[in-house]
Structure 1
């Protein structure tokens, strides 16, 4: 008999996560403790439960100003290398406890330099934290591999610096480059030198596109920045009518199997779609787009990989085959080497889902 497709069973399933922000996934208790250590006095609540509730409600308010304020607090308590290291360590442990076997977690290192931390030290703190958390998780019987994606902020001018760090640290755990921040007004080829640097080094890249902006943003990410994956990318659905032919860019994204790092709860929070049930993730998956399911910001959305997959499955009628498909798609799209991909697929993912099918 197959296991019921509920949260307890999905937690046991081996999962792959491609789109998760380090500064969007802190434990509320950690925010409190880091604020106390740093003398940060701006928090809106002073016990973990109330603070967690505030983050979710502020992110869910429909106000972009209030949503962005949530990150002011998490970034505000991460201005010291030891704080970054702790957050990264706990991230690896929390994902492993949720049954994630491979994750790529992203962070803009420039955001944690305001207190004087050199940007290289910020990157090394992230890598050290992920390594420590992964070692602890393996010792606890929940092994996880965590790769780091370094984000450049679209509205700032440090793209080439971040691209250089991607290349410099790629043998130490940095797996690729990302562009984050406002899509509108800041095209992904605005600083061509950064893209050229990545091209010369053969470095991986994913680009936030098709979240706040539409298909033009997706086209620019693919053609201007040569993105291998689309961060969110869900607005490709604008060219996927309920009936009739696909638009030209949607046909290209489908034919080329461009991976979509879809984060349904986050999209609902930011007002892109009214509910998970009315989110196009189910339609895109059914049509064969390379859909993966992700958390984006676990603290702000109050989600885990388990809850996101469970909720999407319930809303769109998915079974274990669908969950295995999106997991295998995510693994195929991961910025890892073929040997690690094959090991995870053959030794972890397929046996894990076979056991749940019964």
Structure 2
């Protein structure tokens, strides 16, 4: 099996989160057990993309700025993927969210006074993936994410993807909630993706999840996306769907369960865009 849409920071083991939190004395809003942690971070009923993403601020501080922890979660992910029958996967993540040298909303308001840079995050991740590949026989690569609302990081993502291909970086992405109009991307990230295409860097874009079909069209036509993360709502524009999905064969990375939990699609399968695509 191959898994192409996998968020590294959304794949951390519950036990690992609890272990690291205990060692670092980080409060997980009172959660001390796996069941208590799941109640905090797992979405069980259809909600919104912003609600799903909000959970990351609870547990991600346990690994932020910690190269040993980052290497550990990468290694453990390889083990978990092997147990799940996955032969090849691409783990996407924001190296800026995992470093501690830039301020961001996952820092819990703490100033950026650390020493682990985004480049060093990639090094740590690669060490973990290398060990995991050797131990469990899986093949792992990584995708670097730009994040909507953090325009200052975009150019660095482009440069990291350009210079760190030998570290298993195979593509760039843009993720996160849209700020303002759902169907718009910051011009800075559009330019980064256009330059990435010129440099031969592969491109996947989160689109058509909380935004509409127009968002997917922008990702493909302006940002030169080769794959679309989610893209469910492209089918709502029959002409655009025919052009991009059928004629051009743009790859749609579908996530059936998550699509319902983020409120992107209806639970009713006959009306679900993924079901319509399959039919």
- Give the TM interval when normalised to the shorter protein: 0.7 to 0.9
Aligned to 2:149: 155
Instruction: Report the alpha carbon displacement of residue 285 of structure 1 after superposing the two structures with TM.
Output: 2.1
2:166 pairs with 1:171? yes
**In 2, Cα distance between the equivalents of 1:64 and 1:191?**
20
In the alignment of these two chains, the number of paired residues is 259
Provide the C-alpha distance between the structure 1 equivalents of 2:184 and 2:221, rounded to a whole number of angstroms: 15
**CA distance in 2 between partners of 1:258 and 1:65 (Å):** 26
* Partner of residue 206 from structure 1, selected from 204, 207, 210: 204
Aligned with residue 248 of structure 2, among 226, 238, 256: 256
CA distance in 2, matches of 1:210, 1:63: 14
Q: Which 4+ runs in 1 deviate beyond 6 A?
A: none
Q: For the residues of structure 2 that align with 1:174 and 1:188, how far apart are their CA atoms? A: 23
Q: Which has the larger radius of gyration?
A: 1
In structure 2, the partner of 1:280 is 273
Partner Cα distance (1:64, 1:250) in 2:
23
SS at 1:271's partner residue?
coil
Please tell me whether residue 270 in structure 1 is matched to residue 251 in structure 2. Answer: no
With 74-83 and 211-220 compared, the bigger mean Cα shift is at: 74-83
The residue matched to 1:129 in structure 2 has which SS?
A: helix
Q: 1:34 aligns with which of 14, 17, 20?
A: 20
Q: Determine which structure has greater relative contact order: mean sequence separation of CA pairs < 8 Å that are 6+ residues apart, divided by chain length.
A: 1
Is contact 2:147–2:176 with CA below 8 Å preserved after alignment? yes
1:277-308 deviation line (CA, Å, top 9, x unaligned): 3422222023xxxxxxxxxxxxxxxxxxxxxx
Aligned positions of 1:125-204 closer than 5 A:
125-137=124-136, 143-157=137-151, 158-183=153-178, 184=182, 186-187=184-185, 189-204=187-202
**DSSP-derived class of the 2:206 partner:** strand
Task: Give the superposition deviation at 1:150.
Answer: 0.5
Gaps of 5+ in 1: 1-14, 138-142, 240-246, 287-358
Equivalent residues of 2:197, 2:203 under 8 A apart: no
The answer to whether structure 1 residue 83 and structure 2 residue 69 are counterparts is yes
The normalised TM-score by structure 2 is 0.86
Report 1:15-164 matches (<5 A).
Answer: 15-57=1-43, 60=45, 62=47, 66-79=51-64, 80-114=66-100, 116=114, 117-137=116-136, 143-157=137-151, 158-164=153-159
Does the 8 Å CA contact 2:8/2:91 hold for their aligned counterparts?
A: yes
- Tell me which residue corresponds to 1:230: 228
Question: Cα RMSD over matched residues?
Answer: 1.9
Describe the superposition over 1:31-58 as per-residue Cα deviations: whole angstroms up to 9, x where unpaired.
101112233113441112332243224x
SS state at 2:54 partner: helix
Closer/same/farther in 2, CA of residues 176 and 284 from structure 1, 3 Å limit: same
Alpha carbons of structure 1 residues 95 and 188: separation in structure 2 relative to 1, 3 Å: farther
Counterpart in the other structure of 1:305: none
Query: Following TM superposition, by how much is the alpha carbon of 1:149 offset from its aligned partner in structure 2, in angstroms?
Result: 0.4
Residues 281 and 31 (structure 1), Cα distance of their counterparts in 2 relative to 1, 3 Å cut: same
Matches of 2:50 and 2:148 in 1, distance apart?
A: 18
Q: Which 5+ residue runs of structure 2 have no aligned equivalent?
A: 101-111
Q: Secondary structure at the match of 2:144?
A: strand
Q: Which moved further from structure 2: 149-158 or 268-277?
A: 268-277
- What's the secondary structure of 1:82's corresponding residue? helix
Find the residue that maps to 1:46 and give its secondary structure.
Answer: coil
Q: Distance in 1 between matches of 2:213 and 2:74?
A: 33
- Measure, in 1, the Cα distance between the counterparts of 2:186 and 2:251: 18
Q: CA–CA distance in 2 between the matches of 1:63 and 1:222? A: 24
Does the C-alpha gap of structure 1 residues 64 and 285 become closer, same or farther in structure 2, counting only changes over 3 Å? closer
